[in-house]
A and B are shown apart, each in its own frame.
Chain A
Amino acid sequence: ETGVTQSPTHLIKTRGQQVTLRCSSQSGHNTVSWYQQALGQGPQFIFQYYREEENGRGNFPPRFSGLQFPNYSSELNVNALELDDSALYLCASSPTRSGRMVGTDTQYFGPGTRLTVL
């Protein structure tokens, strides 16, 4: 069984640029969530995708957007990068039913992408 994978591992961008991060969910998982983890902090929820549609969003501006593909993989896009966007971006997949986590579901995390904005 393949776990959650993310690419790239590290990325350096300059302020104002755009970036795309990628995530492949664990086999059999239909829901992908994205989190931003600033240095020394816990992960903060960005949004979740279920069946190719956004299914919940945290307190992040519209320049954070995403996609989910038919194979359940996902992308996180960030436009007009700001210095404060420097963080570890985590993707997590879960085998949710009806787009909502219930019962014994949990989230399985990828290794993250370290984004540095200069």
Chain B
Amino acid sequence: AQTVTQSQPEMSVQEAETVTLSCTYDTSESNYYLFWYKQPPSRQMILVIRQEAYKQQNATENRFSVNFQKAAKSFSLKISDSQLGDTAMYFCAFSPPIGNQFYFGTGTSLTVIP
């Protein structure tokens, strides 16, 4: 069974600083997909970044980047130049290679402090 663990229930960062959110997962699959979703107080889950396990290069999307360590089954999200609008709940999610469901972690609540 796949499991996703986010060990940081809450984090805070000063505006313009950098913060890293941690995520580990457990799977016996060799190929899979990993995601970070953002859920602001408005509740809508928004895709932040996506990583395919067979790609060694870490994904980046503007201020968001990941550190994907396949052997360690670790998938952390780095947010650079944090902005007030980054305040939200962040969920790490795993999807098997040919699967029809996402497995989510319990989330990390990030607060950006002005």
Min CB gap B85→A, angstroms: 17
Interface residues of B (CB under 8 A from A): 4, 33, 35, 37, 42-47, 50, 91, 93, 95, 97-107
Q: How far is the CA of A35 from the CA of B95 in the complex (A)?
A: 14
Known: A42-B93, A43-B45. 4 other contacts (CB 8 A): A35-B102, A41-B107, A45-B103, A92-B45
CB proximity to B under 8 Å, residues A99-118: 99-102, 106-112, 114
Q: How far is the CA of A35 from the CA of B43 in the complex (A)?
A: 13
Assess the B100–A101 pair: CB atoms within 8 A: yes
- How many A-B contacts if CB must be within 8 Å? 65
Min CB gap A112→B, angstroms: 5
Q: How far is the CA of A79 from the CA of B98 in the complex (A)?
A: 31
Q: How far is the CA of A22 from the CA of B33 in the complex (A)?
A: 28
Contact of B47 among A33, A50, A100, A108 (CB under 8 A): A108
Contact of A55 among B4, B33, B47, B100 (CB under 8 A): B100
Contact of A42 among B46, B47, B104 (CB under 8 A): B104
* Chain B residues with CB under 8 A of A114: 43
* Chain B residues with CB under 8 A of A44: 104
Q: How far is the CA of A108 from the CA of B102 in the complex (A)?
A: 12
- 7 intermolecular pairs with C-beta atoms under 8 Å apart: A33-B100, A43-B104, A48-B100, A48-B101, A50-B100, A101-B98, A114-B43
Q: How far is the CA of A108 from the CA of B105 in the complex (A)?
A: 17
Contact of B45 among A31, A100, A102, A109 (CB under 8 A): A109
Q: Is A78 part of the contact surface with B, judged by Cβ < 8 Å?
A: no
